[in-house]
Amino acid sequence: PNGSKDHVSHMALDIGGTLIKLVYFSRNCECSVEDKEDKPSNDSLLVSNDHKKFQLLKGSFHFAKFETSKINDCLEFIQCNQLHFSGCKHHGDPTNDKCIIKATGGGAHKYGDLFKEKLGICLDKEDEMDCLVAGANFLLKAVHEEAFTYINGQKEFLQIDHDDLYPYLLVNIGSGVSMIKVDGDSKFERVSGTNVGGGTFWGLGRLLTKCKTFDELLELSHQGNNRVIDMLVGDIYGGMDYAKIGLSSMTIASSFGKAISDNKELEDYKPEDISRSLLRMISNNIGQISYLNALRFGLKRIFFGGFFIRGHAYTMDTISVAVNFWSKGEAKALFLRHEGFLGALGAFVSYEK
């Protein structure tokens, strides 16, 4: 439809509290070798900064994200690439044809009228939890080398036996966090969640560091040292471990607990140290709550998704260490290459229903 040799067959949206995720599939795309990170192969992932592609079957999935507060950028992207035509019955003109696009996330409800008005398309709303689970199951079954562990800086891909996938705990870290016990295709229960999630990291981080973008805040955390801000066991025990209960001197006793000096103000702490402490606090907390929920239901595998993770080494390391520490090595934290697109992919596969 857009004059190129790509033929967009479907598009789906996940309009979240912070980000809009867009997925579309184009058939017969040989153009996707540019912007790649991995070597192209039938199932390889091709990544660029904001727009991702991976080749699958006889076409390619394309991934894009936009800030929800800049929804017009998303509308423009859809219009420029004429993606909305994919929802029309005969790929025709949306003004004469009823165009329907699958969409999930709260924004599918909030922005339905805007999509109708600006692009003439109807958002066909799919339940958010249904989509998260469908998207995770799709990735775990259909995509080679999707899930991996991250231990001591090493990524190790997991071979998933389709007959031995369930049950598992899915933890989606978006603006907020959902924890879902998944027992099968469309068989799941949201067992827990926490309001301290990606939105908290970004919101608090912005207030405390004056960073202008999420990536800037994340980048800062690379360079920081959380020991300046966090109170460690060693700070309390004069540099010693509290060995009797298995706490090393390096264990954080109290996140931000050292930032209490009378003669130090916020400006006296480095933004990079603050960012690192904050990232550590939130990742640790989510790792711990996830493990407690896995324990409640005897689940050994915990898959983490959501755009908070962003393939960020320090985040994944902290979550892995937390799960490993609290479970005494019994449970595993697993990450997904397409972590941020579970809901959008779930909406996409719902066309098949």
Binding site for ligand ADP (CB under 6 A): 16-19, 67, 105, 174-175, 198-199, 201-202, 214, 306-308, 310, 340
Judged by beta carbon, residue 85 or residue 115, the one nearer ligand ADP is 115
The least CB distance from residue 305 to ligand ADP, in Å, is: 7
Q: Closest CB to ligand ADP among 85 and 214?
A: 214
341 vs 105: CA distance, rounded Å: 12
For residues 7 and 27, the answer to whether their CB atoms sit within 8 Å is yes
CB of 215 to ligand ADP, least distance (A): 6
- What DSSP element (H or E) covers 274? helix 271-297
Yes or no: say if 88 and 16 are a contact pair by the CB < 8 Å rule: no
> How far is 128 from 63, CA to CA, in rounded Å?
18
Nearest Cα neighbor of 255 from 236, 234, 237, 282 is: 282
Nearer to ligand ADP, 101 or 232 (CB): 101
| Least distance in angstroms from the C-beta of 202 to ligand ADP | 4
Cα–Cα dist 343/346, whole Å:
5
Q: What residue is closest to ligand ADP based on CB? A: 16
| CB 127, CB 104: distance < 8 Å | yes
Least CB distance to ligand ADP at residue 19 (A): 4
Dihedral pair phi/psi, residue 331, rounded to 5°:
-110, 155
Of 85 and 341, nearer to ligand ADP (C-beta) is: 341
- Which is nearer to ligand ADP, 55 or 175 (by Cβ)? 175
Instruction: Tell the smallest beta-carbon distance from residue 315 to ligand ADP (Å).
Output: 10
**Are 233 and 249 within 8 A, CB to CB?**
yes
